[in-house]
Structures are given as C-alpha cells and as structure tokens.
Amino acid sequence: LISQFNLNQPLDASIEQWVKDQVDPDVSGLTSHREYYRRRMNPRLEASYFATSNGPLPCEKHSRWRKFAFSVKDSEKVVTFASLNNNGAAPYTMSIGGNVRTIVGSMPQLITPDDEDAVPQNAVLGTGYEICWTDDTFYEQAIGSRILMKVASNPSADCLSLVGGNPQVDIGQSEDVADYIVGLPNPHASNPKLVSIDDDDYESVYWTTAHKPNDEFLLTKNINRGICSSLPNPHTVS
C-alpha cells in the first residue's frame, strides 16, 4: 500500500488519492469481494460445497489434503469391506460408492462403544455399513478418531465403533484401485509447497489415538501435474 503512495506530496494527500483510486473502476478496475473471499476460503466444512463454489481446486494454492479415510461428509454413507484379492483373506478394502478409501492389513472389527466388557466382532465382508452421524463425527476428524457405523439394511441396528478409529489412507502398491493419484510435494522440504496444518489444540476422549499434526495439509503454491486437469471438481461433486 505504502509503495503506491506519491511520496512527492504530503502524506495525507497521498492517502486521500489512494482511497479515491481504489473506488475508481477506471483506475483500479472492478473487483469482487465475494470472489476474492471464496477463492481463499478453505474450511474443513466439506458440506459447504453443496451451497456454493467456495474453495480452490485440488491442485491449486490453499487446497487441503488429508490422511484420514473418512470425513464428516461421509456421514450416513455406506461403507463396504472386501478382500482385495477376492479370496476372503487380507488385505481388505474399505469403500464408499465403489471407490476404495483405504486398504488395511487385518480384518476390520466393530465393537460396542463405551462398554468395557464388549468384545470386538469381525465386520461381515460384502455387507454395507452406514456411517452414523454424531456430534463428535463432525468436530473430530483425524487418524484414529472414533467412527461409528451400523448395518445399513437394518434401520434399528445399533451404531458400533470401528476398532482403531478412522484409518489412514493407504493403498500400498495397489495403485490400480485408485481412480486418481496425485503426486504431492514433500512436506519436509526446506521450503515446502505442502505444509502440515493442525486445526485443534485439544484432545478428545473419543479419539483412540492422540491427535497430532500431519493429518491434514495445505498447498501453499499451485502444483502442475498432468492429472490435475482431469480431477473431479469438488465444487460440483456431492
């Protein structure tokens, strides 16, 4: 701002002229506060995409990336577990809508929440489990945060807790299960384009592991990858 002042005239006159220039479209052009705000808005509230185009595209500066498999946007969606090799043995996939979210090395288990005497039970492969909506599902999203689900075909079924909590996104060497794979910058570089962010400074009793940074990341600069142009637009995908 100061660099735009005319230093050859009194300061008060420079400030007055600068303000006039800002509101004169012939000098500064027309700008939109709404457009400026939305382009730089990147909340964790994924549901906000239903209402408006309010954030950057996947490969653009300020886009957010996460390591945990499920978010609040997945509440009331159906998760299915399957054997990756279709032989009933490990590893196992966790999918929503036919899209693999992660692959785990042991049989997923469910347990009655807040019951010290409860015994974990194996999930039934091929059965749909609806993610239950709870207040902590909305606020607590991290690797290991509590995820509750119930048998989707039984509306009166109890919500059970996924043992181990929200799993980390991991497809190992099975890249063929992913529709898109984007190579992200190294967050540990000396001048990283991808930085770790930590939204919360509190711990929750519902988390099965302590929350810590490195569960979510923010791009500080645009990245140029050939796949970027073919990625789904989060502004239009529900």
Q: How confident is the model at residue 230 (pLDDT cuts 50, 70, 90)?
A: very high
Measure the CA–CA gap between 61 and 6, rounded to whole angstroms: 33
Amino acid 104: pLDDT: 97
Beta bridge partners of 83: 92
Q: Is the pLDDT of residue 205 over 50?
A: no
Spatial CA neighbour of 67 closest among 233, 230, 194: 194
Amino acid 23: pLDDT: 86
Mean of the per-residue pLDDT values of the chain: 83
pLDDT tens, position by position, 150-201 = 999 999 999 999 999 999 999 998 999 998 999 999 988 888 999 888 655 4
Greater confidence (137 vs 22) lies with: 22
Whether residue 166 contacts residue 145, with contact meaning beta carbons closer than 8 Å, is answered with yes
Omega of the bond prior to 120 within 30 degrees of 0, cis?
no
What does R_g of the chain's alpha carbons equal in angstroms?
23
Q: Which of 11-25, 94-108, 193-207 has the lowest mean pLDDT?
A: 193-207
Instruction: Provide the whole-model pTM.
Output: 0.72
Measure the CA–CA gap between 74 and 134, rounded to whole angstroms: 12
Calculate ∠ Cα 117-143-57, nearest 5°. Answer: 145
Greater confidence (37 vs 88) lies with: 88
Measure the CA–CA gap between 52 and 196, rounded to whole angstroms: 26
Amino acid 201: pLDDT: 46
